[in-house]
Structure 1
């Protein structure tokens, strides 16, 4: 009879205190992705909702939109803004308790703020704040608050956490490329020996590709709207027809919150900007994934040596000689998970039935996981890159075993010589193909072939002097225009 699992009578781990995380990001990798908690957690979302509600209240009163509403003092504004600034674990718990009754997250924020207004009686004797219950959430639908809150937390997460880490990784890659600018390396196209390059140039290709994507991410437009139940300002103009509601909306989104205003929406902000951002991050991820697999391959070939101390790795549990490239493998896996989530987000968020459905509400709660797996991968890529040394001697030995790659240089030079009037240069491709295809060609054989061509002396001298290690064109100079990226978006 087989044993059951969990064993009969085993402790229920779901009831253990403190609670055990279900997912890897909040469990095993919590310490790495912790910076994103300040931006993309449920608590951060609620803090952003509180922020939007508070600033909307202040905005309406400062613009004197509401007839008969009192003016705020500086003390009132300081008190209100402290509600957001001092949002802590107790605030999280208080909101959760209210939501347990309301069964509505944004309504819970509204009631929470009203409680804070009432508390001003003791903190600010004589303050008008306790009289402002009806100003809280006025002219707002839940999505007015949510779309702005999400824009704020995603913007802060990208600009303050993900983008600086991604930029630091690209700059690390750029630095290592510069270090390796002069190290010749055999290329492999289709997995076969091909025209040599330099390791630095190949690393620089990735730095350049990734840098382009970061520029796109850094210029993301974070859109927001605040225009009522179906985007028509209907309740607004019915109650206060004399107010320029479009300007009130625009100035709040742009001037107060620092977002871009979306003037034309349904009940929801259309989320197109999110789809654009996630597509850009996913593209960055895929290029980074390409780098991870190439780095893994270079380790396999012996071109990269892993520094055990830097990697912090035991290696295999049974084979003590092994140093597993776990940083790059971990990065691969997490980049794939991140891309899968980002793709789903980008695909689903641009669609909403009619004027609104709630699929986006559940979908957007996974933004933290999508960016979190990318963030974790970037941390591993930085550590993996920092933990490898380049073996120039191994790369040189690899080059020395593949003299046939000079066949390209010889046949192209023969063509040039033929065009210049030299005789005996016919069928250069076919002649080199006969010599090199499927054959290992030695240095001596290649030079004998060059001399046998009777090519003009100036061409012969260059070809005879050529080696696989020097056949790198202007690869080192190609790094000259590779810029160092700024760690903050412009």
Structure 2
């Protein structure tokens, strides 16, 4: 049998491999990671000089060549030819062409495409996470303002898809705000995992050169280097934590979005959507279609699905550097960020403009008798009955009022007196005026003044707490932005100083 190696005259790259793998990877790198490549090259070069690995004169020539490449090579106009394997080798090829193979190859001392790639991906994720966090915090601020505005606005609250009890729109929004706050915390936690630099890990085990990993991390705006070098190229929890947090955020946002869809239906109608957010049917002139809410539901589901897909790609991959976590996967994940931003912007706009229709709410409360729970409670407190006995009396009243399509405060007193007498053998101490007050939605809300309830005191305290938390979120974002800006300024100063070196 002949040796296949001896007769193999093929040359890399195979044309099909070039078109199906290398070209898309190259295009993805020039679309998403040019700024990251530039920053990594400059930070690494500064560190090589500061540690004495490379002399200042040589570094100055490399710095000036990098500056020239930035000025003369437009990534948007590059067409992949297969002449070099990827974008990294294109920059190295340009350096060698300008400086010669020896000096042009010295920038790559003590680093690898492995640590470069994961650093690139983390830089890309940090930028996107900061943008997403800013939008999520803006939505939180919008919801807090709406909760304050609507803290006394009555709505029908539903359980199991049926009218359950009255509460306020502010109370409902407060629940949404609490979940969103926890989701924002998860995004911050994911960002903290992303904010650890892999540079200096090289291929797997760091380097025999006296590199300063902390200095490169500082110049690139990372909080610190990721400690274990194997982890730098193998641990993709920065990917899974990011997209896990996004997945949960949009799973959770999809639920109140679904409520908005239900509440704006003709049959319920307790939410009014202004004309600016309504499309009219092309054939049925009477229809008001609040289609932004449908788009919110769709885009939230798309975002959830894209984030989930990123977790699926990471499943059962080896604990090492591997293509599964690299360029094309990262680009796929960026689509989740794109749709996520659209949802957050649109939802904030919708929540700022929608209003509750008080007439529809009042009619739905009347038709559903949802204040009847407070009658049962009041019979325990005022008449000394057990809750179960009070519940049975209240149920009888509700059945009678619903049967007559009546109004509980107005039409419920006579059935109440009859049901009470049948159950207890006596007349209630509660008269008609007190009965009407006890079964009013305003009274229902006002007496629920325990922690977490919709009454003014607990709801007002909750909203104040949400404002404090949102302010703390904003302060963290400013701190991150200031840190990134300071790192970028220092890198620019240090790199500019190198360009002046003889």
Question: Do the structures match in fold with TM over 0.5?
Answer: yes
Q: How far is 1:92 from its partner? A: 3.4
Q: In 1, are the aligned partners of 2:96 and 2:102 still within 8 Å (CA)?
A: no
Q: Does 1:480 align with 2:461?
A: yes
The structure whose residues are more often helix, as a share, is 2
Change (3 A) 1:102 1:329: same
1:352 is paired with a residue whose SS is coil
Structure with the greater relative contact order (CA < 8 A, sep ≥ 6): 1 or 2? 2
Q: Does 1:281 align with 2:246?
A: yes
Q: In 1, are the aligned partners of 2:29 and 2:87 still within 8 Å (CA)?
A: no
Q: Which residue, 261, 264, 271 being the options, matches 1:304?
A: 271
Q: Does 1:465 align with 2:437?
A: yes
**Counterpart-to-counterpart distance in 1, 2:41 and 2:242:** 26
Change (3 A) 1:62 1:329: same
Q: Which residue, 142, 160, 177 being the options, matches 2:113?
A: 142
Q: Does 1:436 align with 2:398?
A: yes
Gaps of 5+ in 2: 1-27, 421-425, 480-502
Change (3 A) 1:291 1:479: farther
Q: Which residue, 81, 88, 94 being the options, matches 1:106?
A: 88
Give the match for residue 18 of structure 1: none
Q: Does 1:169 align with 2:133?
A: no
Change (3 A) 1:256 1:325: same
**Counterpart-to-counterpart distance in 2, 1:302 and 1:322:** 13
Q: Does 1:374 align with 2:356?
A: no
1:54-74 C-alpha deviation (Å, 9 max, x unpaired): 2111111122234x564756x
Give the match for residue 92 of structure 1: 76
Q: How far is 1:342 from its partner? A: 0.7
2:355 is paired with a residue whose SS is strand
Q: What is the number of equivalent residue pairs in this alignment?
A: 418
**Counterpart-to-counterpart distance in 2, 1:406 and 1:45:** 59
Q: How far is 1:145 from its partner? A: 0.9
Range that drifts further, 281-290 or 385-394: 385-394
Q: Does 1:345 align with 2:326?
A: no
**Counterpart-to-counterpart distance in 1, 2:188 and 2:319:** 32
Q: How far is 1:481 from its partner? A: 2.5
Change (3 A) 1:82 1:71: closer
Q: How far is 1:76 from its partner? A: 8.1
**Counterpart-to-counterpart distance in 1, 2:344 and 2:246:** 12
2:108 is paired with a residue whose SS is coil
Range that drifts further, 334-343 or 256-265: 256-265
1:297 is paired with a residue whose SS is helix
TM-score by length of 1: 0.75
Q: In 2, are the aligned partners of 1:275 and 1:350 still within 8 Å (CA)?
A: no
Q: Does 1:226 align with 2:199?
A: yes
Q: RMSD between aligned alpha carbons?
A: 3.4
Q: Which residue, 192, 203, 216 being the options, matches 1:252?
A: 216
2:295 is paired with a residue whose SS is helix
Q: How far is 1:415 from its partner? A: 3.1
Q: Does 1:324 align with 2:289?
A: yes
Give the match for residue 46 of structure 1: 34
**Counterpart-to-counterpart distance in 1, 2:90 and 2:428:** 87
**Counterpart-to-counterpart distance in 2, 1:103 and 1:156:** 27
**Counterpart-to-counterpart distance in 2, 1:279 and 1:457:** 58
Give the match for residue 21 of structure 2: none
Range that drifts further, 182-191 or 248-257: 248-257
Change (3 A) 1:386 1:267: closer
2:320 is paired with a residue whose SS is coil
Q: How far is 1:479 from its partner? A: 4.1
Q: Which residue, 133, 139, 142 being the options, matches 2:104?
A: 133
